[in-house]
Structure 1
Amino acid sequence: MLEALQQTNKVIGVKQTNKALNQDKVKTLYLAQDAEAFLLEKLKDAANKKEVEILYVDSMKKLGKACGIDVSAAAAAILK
C-alpha cells in the first residue's frame, strides 16, 4: 500500500494535498491516524465528496518515511 508513495507523482502535506483535492488531481489520499483531527477533517470531507480513496497510515512518522522525506507528514496523496 505504501509502496505507491515511492512514485514521483505525489504531493505531501496538508496544504498541498488540500490544493490537489480542490483541483480534482488526487487518485488516492493517505492520512496519518495520529495527526490532529482538525487538520484532517477538511481533507476527509473533500475526498468523500469527490469519491477519492482514503487509506490510513499508523503514524505521521511512517507516512513521512514512506514518502521518502525525513520529517513526519499528516497527509499525502497520489496524483492522477
Structure 2
Amino acid sequence: MSYERIRAAKKRAVGTRETTKAVQKGLARVVFVARDAEAHVTEPLLSLCREKGIEVIMVDSMRELGRACGIEVSSASAAILEE
C-alpha cells in the first residue's frame, strides 16, 4: 500500500537531500523513510518532519522505495510533493 502511494505520485522528491529540501521549503505533503536506512541519515529528516508537522510513513526497504520511485538504486527517503 505505502509503495503504491509514492509510485502513483505525479511529483516527488527522491533521496534524503532532495526530501529534506522539499520539507524545508514546505513542498512535501508526505515523507517516506526506509526502516533499513542508517539512523544518522534519516534522523535529521524525521526531526524536521516532526517540527513541521509532516506525515511520515515508514517503509521496510530502501531498495523497494527506490524501485517505487522509478530509480535503479536504493533510497533512504522520498516525498510526495504539492502539485
User: Would you say same fold, with TM above 0.5?
Assistant: yes
The equivalent of 2:81 in structure 1 is 79
The equivalent of 1:35 in structure 2 is 37
Q: Which runs of 5+ in 1 are unaligned?
A: none
Question: What is the TM-score when the length of structure 2 is the normalising length?
Answer: 0.91
After TM superposition, the runs of 4+ consecutive aligned structure 1 residues lying more than 2 A away are none
Q: What is the percentage of aligned positions where both structures have the same residue?
A: 39
Question: What is the TM-score when the length of structure 1 is the normalising length?
Answer: 0.94
The equivalent of 2:20 in structure 1 is 18
| Number of corresponding residues | 80
SS in structure 1 of the partner of residue 73 of structure 2 = coil
